[in-house]
DNA sequence: TTCCTTATTGATAAAATTATCAATAAGGAA
DNA sequence: TTCCTTATTGATAATTTTATCAATAAGGAA
């Protein structure tokens, strides 16, 4: 993917380094979308990388804004490349999910800002609910 | 606290039971507010309860709507008694936090519902940002 | 290219969280 | 109260995640 060189420069500007491990994890997320640490490890295991390195690298990349952390509702976290801003909606019944335009929340957020005095980072939220299908037939679908 | 009898009835109606362990954990959360599993275990350790029981009980109570799960931003979760609906704002710099009236998000959520077809559970969200103090003096405060 | 500094990794241990399963006890029925 | 069914717990092992620290390698300087 073409963003590796850009990220390399960005990291070096902060005194950090681009390593083969970071490269492999970024690549895995590039063609994997939202992935859990375990899923990512599967995809980079062949390089000999340690699980500890996967966790460390994900935390590092997230802290530096290169990755976004997402709540999957199962208590565990997922990671993804931080591209265009967005939020998520997940169906509590069937797990279906979709992305949401952050513009929909903008007015609510700016109102929260003016009422609380906080400066909010719109961020990357996850909303839970029922998808159109599960809204009808209450129980079906695992 | 006075809600134990009510919760007992609620649980029995679903075939579940009120145990001394559940009672102790609810009591801990009643006078503790938002607590992590470790913090809760500290407070009920004297009863001889196992850590595994703490985790199981928290998951059980949350699944049944008696507890809310909160994202604390540190990757770990916190639990609290589900009372009046609200959301949270946490300062990424100093950790200061405050609750937010869910009514502020209501219009945005109903618009998301009409645009996506999902039925959303307003829920219990956590927003991150900078508090009024940290917004000014950029670096200070651990 | 060679050398140096040190950020990063692997190896390992520790800690936190989850899964198994037999023993216990909640609470409904008699 | 006594008895029974079975939800729940404790004990234990397995898995996941985090912390330590010496060995490695990124990448700037010479
Ligand atoms: Mn996302
Ligand atoms: Mn809360
Ligand atoms: Zn669904
Ligand atoms: Zn602050």
Q: What is the pLDDT of residues B65-103, one digit of tens each?
A: 999 999 888 878 999 999 999 999 999 888 899 999 999
pLDDT above 80 (res A98): yes
> CA A124, CA B112: separation in Å to the nearest integer?
15
Which ligand lies nearest the alpha carbon of A77? 1
As a residue count, chain B comes to 142
Which of the nucleotides in strand D have any atom less than 7 Å away from a protein CB atom?
7-13, 16-20, 25-28
Min Cα separation A142/chain B (Å)? 16
Q: B72 CA to D9 C1', in Å?
A: 29
How is chain A split into domains, by residue range? Answer: 1-83, 85-142
- Within 8 A of A136 by CB-CB distance, chain B residues are none
| B1-83 matches B85-142 in fold | no
> CA A127, CA B68: separation in Å to the nearest integer?
14
- Please write the tens of the pLDDT for every residue from A69-92: 998 888 789 999 999 999 999 998
Q: Which CATH architecture has domain B85-142?
A: 2-Layer Sandwich (3.30)
C-beta of residue A115 within 8 angstroms of C-beta of residue B138: no
Q: How many angstroms from the chain centroid is the CA of residue B67?
A: 6
Q: What is the sign, positive or negative, of the torsion defined by CA atoms of B97, A73, B123, B116?
A: positive
Task: Tell me the CATH number of domain B1-83, given options 3.40.50.300, 1.10.10.10, 1.10.8.60, 3.30.70.270.
Answer: 1.10.10.10
pLDDT (mean) for B1-15? 90
pLDDT of residue B116: 95
pLDDT band at B141 (very low <50, low <70, confident <90, very high): very low
C-beta of residue A132 within 8 angstroms of C-beta of residue A97: no
Among the partner residues B71, B108, B130, nearest to A119 by beta-carbon distance: B130
Residue A35 DSSP symbol: B
- Please write the tens of the pLDDT for every residue from A7-23: 999 999 999 999 999 99
**Residues 6 or more apart whose Cβ sits within 8 Å of residue A82:** A65, A66, A67, A68, A124
């Amino acid at each position: 993917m073409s963003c590796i060189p850009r990220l390399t420069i960005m990291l070096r500007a902060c005194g950090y380094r681009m390593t083969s491990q970071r490269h492999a994890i970024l690549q895995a997320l590039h063609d994997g979308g939202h992935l859990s640490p375990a899923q990512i490890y599967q995809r980079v295991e062949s390089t000999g990388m340690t699980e500890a390195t996967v966790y460390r690298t994900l935390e590092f990349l997230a802290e530096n804004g290169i990755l976004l952390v997402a709540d999957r509702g199962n208590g565990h976290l997922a990671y993804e490349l931080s591209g265009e801003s967005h939020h998520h909606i997940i169906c509590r019944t069937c797990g279906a999910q979709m992305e949401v335009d952050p513009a929909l929340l903008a007015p609510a957020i700016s109102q929260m800002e003016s009422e609380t005095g906080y400066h909010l980072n719109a961020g990357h939220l996850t909303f839970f609910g029922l998808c159109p299908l599960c809204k009808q037939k209450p129980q079906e679908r695992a």
